[in-house]
């Protein structure tokens, strides 16, 4: 039983990390980045979205073309 409990706890973290990976891979294209960010917002839990906001603000500092995507997170 503890193993199942562990898997349920670690699964959302995996989804957040997966989301970051995908966003990094598509960051060359603003439209694709925005599309993936929208999907992430619809799939992640509120606490994960907060973590994603923090990560995203840092990640796009040197990517001004992606800064418009912050509006999707209401930053």
pLDDT in tens, 4-58: 444 555 555 689 999 999 999 999 999 999 999 999 999 999 999 999 999 999 9
8 A C-beta contact, residue 9 and residue 41: no
Domain spans, the chain:
2-73
Say if residue 59's pLDDT is above 90: yes
Question: Could you tell me the pTM of the whole model?
Answer: 0.79
Cβ within 8 Å of residue 66, ≥6 positions away? 27, 30, 33, 60
Rounded to the nearest angstrom, the gap between the alpha carbon of residue 54 and the centroid of all alpha carbons in its chain is 10
* pLDDT score of 13: 62
């Amino acid at each position: 039983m503890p193993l199942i409990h562990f898997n349920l706890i670690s699964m959302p973290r995996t989804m957040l990390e997966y989301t970051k990976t995908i966003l990094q891979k598509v960051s060359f294209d603003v439209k694709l980045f925005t599309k993936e960010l929208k999907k992430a917002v619809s799939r992640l839990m509120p606490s994960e979205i907060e973590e994603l906001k923090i990560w995203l603000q840092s990640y796009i500092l040197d990517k001004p073309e992606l800064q418009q995507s912050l509006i999707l997170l209401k930053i």
